[in-house]
Amino acid sequence: MQARQKSEQIADLPEFKPAWWLKNCHLQTIMAKYLAPKQPLPHSTELLALPDGDELMLCFGQTPPAKAQALVVLLHGLEGNIHSHYVRGMLHSLQQQGFAAVLMHFRGCHGQANKLPRAYHSGDTEDLRFVLHTLKARYPNLPLAAVGFSLGGNVLMKYCGETAKQCPLYAAAAVSAPLQLSASADRINRGFSKVYQRYLLNRLKATMQRKLDHYTDFPLAIKADDIQRLQSIREFDQQLTAPLHGFTDAEDYYRRSSAKAYLRTIARPHLLIHAKDDPFLAAEAIPTADELGPYSRLLLSEHGGHVGFVSGAIPGQPRYWLDQVIPAFFQQHLP
């Protein structure tokens, strides 16, 4: 395990040691989902009205914020939701360790189409900004932290960099974040990784089809057959994500939304977790020492896959390292 810390000295975090029976990156990525225990779902949900007339869903855990040492906001990955195994595991683990937790669904990810034609994307930080300010106003004396997975990790790091010293979080963590979007879009379009791309692309197509069915005045001149012909994430971003959200093209979207360039301006302790064998991400997504800021800590492992990081000595009895290391990091930095 490689780790870099350029800020204050703190206690070591537990090192990731992959299960000997799950060392392969695809096993780590795929079996992390199917081996995960069925943790309890959150206690309550809230549809939060957004300033532009849209809405998103918050899912709160069972620990009341008023009785917690801090409130942690979770950001899921592309087309994720409250049923994603990594979300359920992290919610459960945080609550077991004295935190309150809430999942912020990105627009349209809670099972129903959002109210506007626009969706969400890897660089969209405005909804997170609004959610955090809303929570801070409700719980002014409760420390806030956040953890983002994959796309959610890129959004979180970009937000932290944009807000710098004004960031309302005391700490943040990003897992398997595509901090360099263009190279990662190319990476997932090669070899066995195309299997993951096909799965995600089909979900994106279904979401966009619901929008076409819902809006008679959809702002883009695109038809259902055009969407179904798209063969890659990059093509989807070129034809839909970019024009729908004000970017010139996919490359403009990737350039302006990648969080890697924001790391050096982050002014809060933040943990970056990556695996070298991640089948979703290009090597360029992993920051170098010169790209890290003074508050960065990088945990880089040889194995782990994409949002996998499953350990355990006994086959069929996994231990989820992320559920240990991220709450420990937040504990270390409690104000």
Catalytic residue among 84, 150, 193, 311: 150
Active site residue 150: yes
For residue 173, report the phi and psi dihedrals to the nearest 5 degrees.
-140, 140
Catalytic residue among 278, 296, 303, 323: 278
Catalytic residue among 277, 306, 311, 333: 306
| 173 DSSP β-pair partners | 147, 271
Amino acid making up residue 67? K
**Cα separations (Å) of 82 from 111, 207, 226, 273, 317?**
10, 16, 30, 21, 23
**Cβ atoms 242, 268 nearer than 8 A:** no
d(CA 194, CA 106): 24
d(CA 335, CA 225): 53
Active site residue 237: no
Under the phi-then-psi rule, with left for phi > 0, alpha for psi from -120 to 50, and beta for the rest, what region is 164? left
Active site residue 278: yes
Q: Which residues are the active-site residues?
A: 150, 278, 306
